[in-house]
Each structure stands twice: as C-alpha cells, then as structure tokens.
Amino acid sequence: MIRAALAIVVVAALADFPANASDAPSPLAGNRSLAAGFRVRSVSGESLDLARLRARGPVLLDFWATWCGPCVASLPELEALHRRFGPRGLTLVGVSVDGPRNFAKVRPFAARAGLTYPIVLDEDGGLQQSYRVLAVPTSILVAPDGSIARIQQGYRPGELAAMEKAIEALLPAAASGDTASAEPR
C-alpha cells in the first residue's frame, strides 16, 4: 500500500517535468544555495561526513531506489562517472530512498549492480527533505565550497553528459599523462 502511494506521488511529480528532465526547475537550482551538511553511515559501515568529502573535491549525491526503473538504468553511467573522476577528487554517494521493507535489499542490489561507490539509506527521509528531493532519480552536485553546482532530475540515457561537464569544471585539470580523462565517450 505504501509502495503504491509512493508510486502515485512519483508519477504525479513526473507529470510536471519538462520534456528535458535535466532542465527541470528545482527549489535549489540557480541560486547557488549551500548544501545541507550531513553525517551518515554507508551500508558497508563507512562513516561519511559532507564537510570531509568536500575537502577532497566535489560530491555527487544520487537519490535513487531499487524499484525505480530510471534510477536503475542510470546506475552504469553513474558508476562510470565514479571510476573516471573518483581518482581526481569526485566522491559519488548513492542515497537510497527505499522504504523500510527494502532496506535489507539495497546492499545486495548495489553489489549485483557492480556499484563501487558508497550507498547510504535515507531511513528517515532527512536527506530528501534537506535537499528538497521530490522525485527519483535526482542527482545533486555539491561544489567543494559547499554550494549546489547542479541538480538533475530524472534520467534518460546519455543525459549525464551535462553533469559530467559540471563535474569536470569543479575538478583540477587532469595531468597530461592522465588517460582516464581522455577516454573516448
């Protein structure tokens, strides 16, 4: 019953999305709001603190759920971003918004999907509320200075290219011998 109600809310929210979901308005977009700080524990037990993560470089928060088709479809592209830009300072954190019935399924799901970046459970909805996430998937790029650099709602294959450009702009220039940044797309 809860899952059906949540599905209705997600469908209603998606009905108002523009044709290009990456250009969807967000209450945080455009004003370079500061990201809400947090301290959470990943499903593997790792402690994550936004301030510490930002000290290393930009942080990409991806709000998703195991039952969300577009979320699941985006995971390979997100993993590729993590592998490509992680060595240069990007931290990607998957924020599962799965309900209590699915909490136990998230870690094995992430392992089967081959995700190597940290996954956290937003058990009380606090992160969704802090970041004003109304639908999944939603990706929020936090700059090292703590400002919200980009928000992308929804997913279509290839749409993460704009997020990739935003990430690249926040990272130090790649060394001339760095072949990871020169990979063909």
CA dist list (Å): 78 to 6, 40, 89, 184: 24, 20, 15, 16
Residue 14 falls within a domain, yes or no?
no
pTM over the 0.85 mark: no
Residue 165 falls within a domain, yes or no?
yes
Q: pLDDT band at 43, cuts 50/70/90?
A: very high
Residue 1 falls within a domain, yes or no?
no
Residue 34 falls within a domain, yes or no?
yes
CB proximity list for 33: less than 8 A, separation 6 or greater:
147, 148
Residue 16 falls within a domain, yes or no?
no
Residue 177 falls within a domain, yes or no?
no
Q: What is the pLDDT of residues 11-34, one digit of tens each?
A: 334 333 333 334 444 444 445 699
What secondary structure letter does DSSP report for 35?
P
CATH for 87? 3.40.30.10
Q: Are 144 and 54 in contact (CB under 8 A)?
A: yes
The helix (H) or strand (E) run that includes residue 108 is helix 103-112
Can you give the residue range of the structural domain that contains 100? 23-171
How many structural domains is the chain composed of?
1
Place of tokens 């109304």: 134
